[in-house]
Amino acid sequence: MRVTKKDQSGAHEQIAAWWHDQNQIHKENRMKPGHKQKIRFIPEQGNRKKTGIVARQQPRLLRSFQAVLALGLFFASATVWADRTHNIQNFYGERAPGLAGAYGAIADDPSGAFYNPAGLAFAYDGYISISASNYKEVKYVYEGVFGPGQDYKRSYDKFTPNFLGAVKRLDEDWMFAVSLINPYVESFDQADRILFPQYQPNTNRISIDYSDDSSLLLGGPSVAWSSGENFALGFSLLYFNDKQKNTTSVLFQNKDGSYNSNNSTLHRQTMGFQPVLGLQYMPDDRFAIGLSASHHIITSEFARERFRNMTVTQRPGGGLQALLVELEASDSGPAMISTNLGQGIYGPPAVGKIPQTWESRIGFAWFASRYLLVSADLIYTSGYQEHRVRSFYNAFQNIIVLRDSNEPGLFRRPTTNYALGLEYFITDTFAIRLGGYSNLANTPDKKDTLISILDNTVTRSQSPASGLTVTQNLGYYYEPNQSDELEHVDLYGYSLGFAFSSGSSSVSLSFSREFGKGWGNIADEGLPQQMRARSTAVYLTATTRN
């Protein structure tokens, strides 16, 4: 049965009204304290009446469309995960890299603007300027993705400015600082070919071209005020600009001559402010305590996604048939997927936000002697989740797919990380620094993700007739939620640094290395595979004082 223009118009009016009502209900519910969204389902007795292009008219083509679209959208969204799924992104300044970031109770140079602005009040000199650069090499390995011994790897290396900052004493009690920080500037650009994937016996070759550029820039002023020699308060107001550009092309070439090609692009930019409030207290000359807290405040966001899929399959009676799918989505309105069969799916808008988490840090420092310093930090980062209408309308089967309201791309688990550092002056001008730290994943753990994968697998295996109540020729079908972040790897690292000081200036060279094993999933179906991650960073810093 073919859909007439009148039928399409009526269906579009219904979905538009439903979408408006859902958004209104959602906005009203968000204003209620302790609200948790609930969906009530009323099972239908008997088979469901359907209008539109019914599934049996294009069974093979539509199943192909759904499977390929899911896989293609994964490759479009599988962006740089290290800085999305972990909260410690880098180290900054002269001393912090060698101390593994255990700097919250010290922070007495321009990098204190990030770690604890109160530490700026205890800067030894009236003016300090720091310029730092770092080289970073990162590698991720998804083990046995396409078959035993057929791994998938992603890697990059990059040399970038890491930190620029200066601090100036205004009077006896006040210090002022300005800083520019690059937490990460990452660039993946690679082409991979997988021949005869063992887990896909009907495929001869998979070609993946992947490019991703992601960066985060922080910058702004800081002030610190001291009360005597043992107490200080500080505040930083850092502007941030978080950008991402991803381009992916995936080609599956099958043994029967069929193929499917996926091409996707993603552009996202998020801007706002990150205020940092800090406190430091020194009960005596040898011991210091530092507290700081920071939070992301978003002022503007932009996102645009484009996806194009061409699927060519064998007809039951011989010959080839093609399905072209094109997706256009932005943060300003519903996504639309069109095909050569007509307008197909209306979905939620693209997400231009980043998780608005809180971070709190408590640090301790012991100045054992003029030559030895020991420090330790505990860093707690809050979790985050955001609710929005994520359901979509499938015109192929004339159904509304109800999805969990929790936005998976913004979900984060809370983490508590540690950092330990030691600094020892071998001579009056030469120091060595050592450190160790954790960098735990903020993604759902393996148990939660396995449950979600099984829920999705069971739901997708059900027939449309097992959906929910039909009203006004629209069927309702529930799809469980699953996180966009399909990796969970806890990282641990160590650092080593050397510094040479000559009165008014100093130079330091620091190294850090982190590594971990966990699990990852290259697609949104199937069980996770083991995953390995490692990164190495080199920091070169020059400091002047007067």
For the purposes of burial, counting CB atoms within 10 Å of the CB of 415, is it exposed (0-12), middle (13-18) or buried (19 or more)?
buried
Instruction: Indicate if the pLDDT at residue 460 is higher than 80.
Output: no
Q: Which residue has the higher pLDDT, 106 or 257?
A: 106
The count of residues in the chain is 546
% the chain with pLDDT above 70: 76
pTM of the model: 0.82
Least confident of 56-70, 115-129, 318-332, 422-436: 56-70
Q: Which residue has the higher pLDDT, 28 or 429?
A: 429
Q: Which residue has the higher pLDDT, 26 or 447?
A: 447
Instruction: Indicate if the pLDDT at residue 112 is higher than 70.
Output: yes
Q: Tell me, what's the pLDDT at 83?
A: 60
* 175 — pLDDT class (breaks 50, 70, 90): very high
* 36 — pLDDT class (breaks 50, 70, 90): very low
Question: Which tokens go with 121?
Answer: 């009040």
Q: How far is CA 469 from its chain centroid? A: 37
Cα gap 120→342, rounded to integer Å: 62
Q: What is the pLDDT of residues 238-290, one digit of tens each?
A: 999 999 999 999 999 999 888 989 999 999 999 999 999 999 999 999 999 99
| Residue 236: closest CA among 254, 217, 223 | 223
> What average pLDDT score do residues 215-243 get?
96
Q: Which helix H or strand E contains 73, and what residues bound it?
A: helix 59-77
Instruction: Indicate if the pLDDT at residue 347 is higher than 80.
Output: yes
Instruction: Indicate if the pLDDT at residue 482 is higher than 70.
Output: no
Q: Which residue has the higher pLDDT, 13 or 370?
A: 370
Compute the mean pLDDT over every residue in the chain, rounded to the nearest whole number. Answer: 81
Q: Tell me, what's the pLDDT at 447?
A: 58
Q: What is the pLDDT of residues 367-400, one digit of tens each?
A: 999 999 999 999 999 999 998 888 888 777 778 8
Q: Tell me, what's the pLDDT at 479?
A: 62
Question: Do residues 509 and 91 lie in contact, with contact meaning Cβ atoms separated by under 8 Å?
Answer: no
Q: Tell me, what's the pLDDT at 474?
A: 63
Instruction: Indicate if the pLDDT at residue 317 is higher than 80.
Output: no
Least confident of 165-179, 313-327, 463-477: 463-477
**C-alpha radius of gyration, the chain, whole number:** 27
| Residue 233: closest CA among 179, 180, 178, 293 | 293
Sign of CA dihedral 468, 471, 475, 478: negative
SS3 label, residue 52: coil
Q: What is the pLDDT of residues 398-408, one digit of tens each?
A: 788 777 788 88
Q: Tell me, what's the pLDDT at 472?
A: 57
* 523 — pLDDT class (breaks 50, 70, 90): low
> What average pLDDT score do residues 11-22 get?
48
Those residues with Cβ within 8 angstroms of residue 268's Cβ, 6 or more apart along the chain or in another chain: 242, 243, 244, 245, 301, 302, 303, 304, 350, 351, 352
* 168 — pLDDT class (breaks 50, 70, 90): very high
User: Kindly report the CA angle at 219 between 213 and 222, in degrees rounded to 5?
Assistant: 160
For the purposes of burial, counting CB atoms within 10 Å of the CB of 276, is it exposed (0-12), middle (13-18) or buried (19 or more)?
buried
Residue type, 321: Q
Domains of the chain: residue spans and CATH: 5-545 (2.40.160.60)
Q: Tell me, what's the pLDDT at 477?
A: 60
Question: Do residues 107 and 91 lie in contact, with contact meaning Cβ atoms separated by under 8 Å?
Answer: no
User: Kindly report the CA angle at 192 between 186 and 198, in degrees rounded to 5?
Assistant: 130
SS3 label, residue 493: strand
Instruction: Indicate if the pLDDT at residue 224 is higher than 90.
Output: yes
